[in-house]
């Protein structure tokens, strides 16, 4: 039958099913096809906190959202245009997020009485009027898959399992996606079991053919490729980008990378990823606890490596004393905090930005460190390189604040030219540094205020350092009151003197009176909201902070230039607090902690509200 072809400029699809239904994989493959096609895209996986919640229950629902478009996009999308629901739980858990008119593809085979009861449906929503406002496509995905695989020598269970590939085939047809990468992927994934390669490919093709033939789908959609800079791309999540950034920092500094880590969601994948890259001289140690993890990293830094520890908020809390030690020792150290919803265990798989206070202030004594926050998944790569650069140049701990959204979200990444990455080489002290041939471990570089990095094994530079206050210069223990004051001031001045780029303001008309200022992963939704407002003819400026300590030198002037500054944060106003204290500017917070990224719509509405208040 001939199908209508409709052009769209953007689509948001959410694949949802039971943890065991392979929705992350399905989403991943659809994303890859979409990337190959040349759309811009952004993804947001949403995992259950439980590893294996009981099948068919609401806590067991796992989903993957992908937003793709013919223009450059900034977020994984506020609300799905299409929901693929593999069972009643997936339908129920996601229905509330759907705008009226959204398309729902449901696997009717799973809507048994028992399955419905499990999630509290007395009557099947497919049979009453509850889905009347949506465009529903009931598809018996499981049985169609099993039928398509008749004749394949695989178990019934394996045949049923392939239903996610049937769904992927159907969606790939529906959105005109190229299928080569998925077919190649299946060959690779099941290489050791050829019968599964054949079955999964057959299921995928059956799904595609079903779309072509069934009368239920009368329209096929096309989303044209987005104009993006030329070059080679891949799709990347924040955690992988961060790990690659650390590997790259090792290569560009010609120093070994040493990771001490203790497993914690959502940071563990950085440990997993780095553990694979021993070829690059990366050492990873899974320590006995968070405190040991940072201790190991600091010991390695003392010995001349790039010491790194990766964790989430609860881990940073445990590492505080050692971060202060590193401040006093003035040794390089990179502490990665992949923030999650707290306090305490909170919601480990959900995102939040509530560790900013801890990063800036969460230590005993005056213990300033540099703090940097990436703004998108791919940006984690450069943020990691920058963190290492600051750490080894200034011999200081650097806190890198990622979060659960950046960690697991993904976007296309224009592969950088490796040779053009910053040169991170620094030199160790090799000779005495006084005219009379002595070595003073705290004699500072007048430019950076950094002390020499004198690693054990260097003859003639033997010295003793520790957490006790040291006399500047000699590094000898000192309880001299004036020296302590001087050292506190100097350690702060060292951090304040780290050059960070000015914050750039996006104010296309130059007429805006309202500035929206964010930091970290809110970059996407803030950007999308401001674009939408500008499209409607409203004037609004936006700016984003990457360096939170030290802050950009022009920030005070930027804040002063606007009548109102709105600061959206996934916390209760931690940056806002800093800005008020530091610049005496009465910024307006927009604060929500729902464990989810902001939607661009809510920010658009909030900014509009403020704009209206202006008049």
Partner 1 sequence: MTSTELPLRLTAKDFKSDQEVRWCPGCGDYAILAAMQGFLPELGIACENTVFVSGIGCSSRFPYYLSTYGLHSIHGRAPAIATGLSVSRPDLSVWVVTGDGDALSIGGNHLIHALRRNVNLKILLFNNRIYGLTKGQYSPTSELGKVTKSTPAGSADWPFNPISLALGAEASFVARTIDSDRKHLTSVLRAAAEHRGSAFVEIYQNCNIFNDGAFDILKEPETRDAALIRLEHGQPLIFGDKCVVKDPRGFGLRVVPTDTVAASEIIQHDETVTEPAYAFALSRLPEADLSHTPIGVFRNVTRPVYDDMVRDQITAAQTAGPGDLAALLRTGDTWTLS
Give the residues lining the site for partner 1 (CB under 8 A): 32, 35-36, 38, 181, 185, 225, 228-235, 244, 247-248, 251, 256, 258, 260, 277-283, 285, 287-289, 291-292, 295-305, 307, 321-322, 325, 329, 415-416, 418, 455-468, 476-477
Distance CA 450, CA 367 (A): 15
Give the CA distances from residue 178 to residues 164, 167, 222, 377, 430, in Å, rounded to whole numbers and listed in that order: 17, 15, 12, 24, 57
Of 209 and 471, CB closest to partner 1:
471
Give the CA distances from residue 203 to residues 138, 175, 212, 537, in Å, rounded to whole numbers and listed in that order: 18, 18, 14, 48
* Cα within 13 Å of Cα(372), Cβ side: 28
Of 112 and 433, CB closest to partner 1:
433
Of 247 and 356, CB closest to partner 1:
247
> Measured at the alpha carbon of residue 532, what is the angle toward residues 529 and 535, in degrees to the nearest 5?
150
Give the CA distances from residue 345 to residues 62, 333, 521, in Å, rounded to whole numbers and listed in that order: 20, 26, 21
Residue 137 C-beta: closest distance to partner 1, Å? 28
Residue 30 C-beta: closest distance to partner 1, Å? 12
Distance CA 196, CA 192 (A): 9
Of 195 and 288, CB closest to partner 1:
288
Residue 380 C-beta: closest distance to partner 1, Å? 13
Residue 468 C-beta: closest distance to partner 1, Å? 7
Of 292 and 354, CB closest to partner 1:
292
Please, are residues 46 and 65 in contact by the beta-carbon 8 Å criterion?
Answer: yes
Strand 410-414 relative to strand 514-519: parallel, antiparallel, unpaired? unpaired
Residue 250 tokens read as 């090792």
Residue 417 C-beta: closest distance to partner 1, Å? 8
Of 150 and 232, CB closest to partner 1:
232
Verify cis geometry, omega within 30 degrees of 0, for the bond prior to 601: no
Q: How big is the chain, counted in residues?
A: 615
Residue 404 tokens read as 């659960």
Distance CA 545, CA 552 (A): 8
Tokens 């090799």, residue located: 430
Of 319 and 544, CB closest to partner 1:
319
Of 456 and 508, CB closest to partner 1:
456
403 burial via Cβ count (<10 Å: 0-12, 13-18, 19+): buried
Please, are residues 574 and 353 in contact by the beta-carbon 8 Å criterion?
Answer: yes
Tokens 């010609």, residue located: 254
Q: Which residues pair with 515 in a beta bridge?
A: 541, 565
Residue 477 C-beta: closest distance to partner 1, Å? 7
Residue 228 C-beta: closest distance to partner 1, Å? 6
Residue 321 C-beta: closest distance to partner 1, Å? 6
Of 25 and 532, CB closest to partner 1:
25
Residue 173 C-beta: closest distance to partner 1, Å? 20
């Amino acid at each position: 039958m001939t199908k209508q072809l409709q052009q769209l400029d953007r689509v948001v699809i959410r694949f949802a099913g039971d943890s065991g239904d392979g929705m992350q994989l399905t989403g991943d493959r659809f994303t890859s096809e979409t990337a190959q096609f040349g759309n811009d895209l952004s993804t947001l996986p949403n995992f259950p906190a439980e590893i294996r919640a009981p099948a068919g229950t609401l806590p067991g629902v796992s989903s993957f959202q992908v937003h793709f478009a013919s223009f450059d996009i900034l977020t994984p999308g506020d609300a799905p245009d299409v929901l693929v629901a593999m069972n009643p739980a997936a339908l129920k858990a996601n229905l509330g997020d759907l705008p009226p008119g959204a398309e729902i593809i449901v696997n009717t085979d799973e809507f048994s009485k028992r399955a419905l009861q499990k999630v509290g449906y007395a009557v099947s929503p497919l049979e009453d009027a509850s889905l009347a406002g949506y465009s529903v496509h009931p598809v018996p995905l499981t049985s169609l898959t099993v039928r398509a695989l008749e004749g394949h020598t695989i178990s019934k269970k394996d045949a049923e399992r392939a239903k996610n590939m049937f769904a992927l085939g159907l969606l790939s047809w529906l959105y005109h996606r190229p299928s080569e990468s998925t077919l190649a992927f299946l060959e690779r994934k099941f290489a050791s079991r050829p019968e599964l390669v054949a079955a999964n490919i057959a299921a995928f093709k059956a799904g595609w053919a079903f779309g072509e033939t069934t009368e239920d789908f009368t329209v096929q959609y096309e989303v044209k490729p987005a104009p993006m800079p030329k070059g080679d791309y891949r799709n990347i999540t924040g955690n992988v980008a961060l790990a690659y950034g650390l590997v790259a920092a090792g290569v560009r500094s010609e120093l070994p990378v040493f990771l001490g880590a203790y497993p914690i969601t959502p940071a563990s994948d950085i440990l997993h990823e780095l553990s694979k890259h021993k070829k690059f001289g990366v050492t990873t140690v899974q320590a006995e606890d968070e405190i040991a993890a940072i201790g190991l990293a600091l010991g390695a830094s003392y010995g001349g490596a790039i010491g790194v520890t990766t964790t989430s908020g609860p881990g940073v809390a445990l590492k505080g004393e050692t971060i202060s030690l590193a401040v006093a020792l003035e040794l390089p150290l990179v502490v990665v905090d992949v923030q999650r919803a707290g306090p305490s265990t909170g919601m480990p798989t959900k995102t939040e930005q509530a560790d900013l206070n801890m990063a800036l202030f969460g230590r005993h004594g005056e213990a300033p460190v540099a703090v940097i926050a990436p703004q998108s998944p791919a940006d984690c790569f450069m943020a990691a390189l920058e963190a290492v650069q600051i750490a080894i140049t200034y011999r200081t701990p650097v806190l890198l604040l990622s979060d659960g959204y950046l960690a697991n979200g993904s976007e296309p990444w224009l592969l950088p030219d490796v040779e053009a990455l910053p040169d991170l080489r620094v030199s160790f002290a090799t000779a005495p540094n006084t005219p009379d041939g002595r070595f003073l471990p705290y004699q500072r570089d007048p430019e950076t205020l950094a002390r020499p990095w004198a690693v054990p094994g260097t003859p003639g530079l033997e010295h003793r350092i520790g957490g006790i206050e040291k006399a500047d210069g000699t590094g000898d223990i000192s309880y001299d009151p004036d020296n302590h004051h001087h050292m506190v001031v100097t350690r702060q001045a060292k951090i304040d003197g780290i050059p960070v780029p000015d914050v750039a303001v996006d104010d296309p008309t130059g007429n805006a009176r309202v500035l929206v200022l964010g930091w970290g992963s809110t970059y996407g939704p803030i950007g999308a909201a401001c674009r939408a407002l500008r499209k409607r003819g409203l004037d609004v400026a936006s700016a984003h902070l990457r360096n939170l300590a030290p802050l950009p030198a022009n920030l005070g002037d930027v804040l002063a230039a606007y009548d109102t500054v709105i600061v959206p944060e996934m916390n209760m106003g931690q940056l806002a607090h800093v800005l008020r204290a530091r610049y005496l500017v009465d910024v307006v917070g927009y604060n929500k902690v729902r464990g989810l990224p902001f939607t661009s719509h809510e920010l658009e509405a909030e900014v509009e509200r403020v704009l209206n208040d202006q008049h």
